């Protein structure tokens, strides 16, 4: 099986941007760790990041040929109906990740328009959230959880 690890806008700056909120681990480190966990769990992890909404829609569509998605939509989670519809159009299970605890932050971050079409969401577990999400996606793929 293949799982897409997809990161949205500004997450290319992970590790440099606002470390009090997002920690000091870089996106390259996250991709390495998640890929290593994938190897352990028997899935190939394909990594992608974009700062552009339409490009993210295309990446989500590319997962129509894959088995699952771990997706941090960044700020788009709060208002992109296009990304929500893209996730809704893909049969593969998608789990949302936010590195920070969005519920402890500004009220505009408390709403996710994408979360209702996800198979789960994780917020506030730091970059560890990506690995937790991968574990859940893999258990959904293997039929061990629902």
List phi, psi (to 5°) of 42.
85, 25
Q: Is 52 an active-site residue?
A: no
Q: Is 128 an active-site residue?
A: no
Catalytic residue among 59, 76, 98, 130: 98
Closest by CA to 102, choosing from 78, 138, 86, is 78
Considering the complex, state which of residue 11 and residue 46 has its C-beta at the smaller distance from ligand DQA. Answer: 11
Min dist CB 17 to ligand DQA, Å, is 8
Min dist CB 59 to ligand DQA, Å, is 16
Please give the full DSSP string across 67-116, using - where no structure is assigned.
SEEEEE-GGGGGT-HHHHHHHHT--S-EEEEESS-GGGS-GGGS--SSGG
Tell whether residue 84 is among the known ligand binding residues.
no
Tell whether residue 100 is among the known ligand binding residues.
yes
Tell whether residue 85 is among the known ligand binding residues.
yes
Beta-bridge mates of residue 96? 71, 121
Min dist CB 11 to ligand DQA, Å, is 6
Residues, the chain: 146
Torsional class of 15: left (φ above 0), alpha (ψ -120 to 50), beta (otherwise):
left
Catalytic residue among 22, 59, 76, 130: 22
Considering the complex, state which of residue 2 and residue 10 has its C-beta at the smaller distance from ligand DQA. Answer: 10
**Interface residue list for ligand DQA (CB under 6 A):** 10, 72, 74-75, 98-100, 102, 109
CB of 71 closer than 8 Å to CB of 87: yes
Please give the annotated binding residues for substrate, written as ranges: 72, 78, 85, 99-100, 109
Please give the annotated binding residues, written as ranges: 72, 78, 85, 99-100, 109
Catalytic residue annotation: 22, 98
């Amino acid at each position: 099986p293949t799982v897409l690890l997809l990161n949205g806008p500004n997450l290319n700056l992970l590790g440099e941007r606002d470390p009090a909120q997002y920690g000091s681990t870089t996106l390259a480190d996250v991709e390495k760790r998640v890929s290593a966990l994938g190897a352990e769990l028997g899935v190939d992890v394909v990594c992608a990041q974009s700062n552009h909404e339409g490009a993210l829609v295309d990446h989500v569509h590319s997962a129509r040929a894959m088995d699952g998605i771990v997706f941090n939509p960044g700020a788009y989670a709060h208002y992109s109906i296009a990304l929500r519809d893209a996730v809704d159009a893909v049969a593969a299970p998608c789990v949302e990740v936010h590195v920070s605890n969005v519920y402890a932050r500004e009220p505009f971050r408390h709403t996710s328009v994408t979360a209702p079409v996800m198979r789960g969401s994780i917020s506030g577990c730091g970059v560890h959230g990506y690995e937790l999400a991968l574990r859940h996606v893999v258990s959904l793929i293997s039929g061990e959880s629902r």
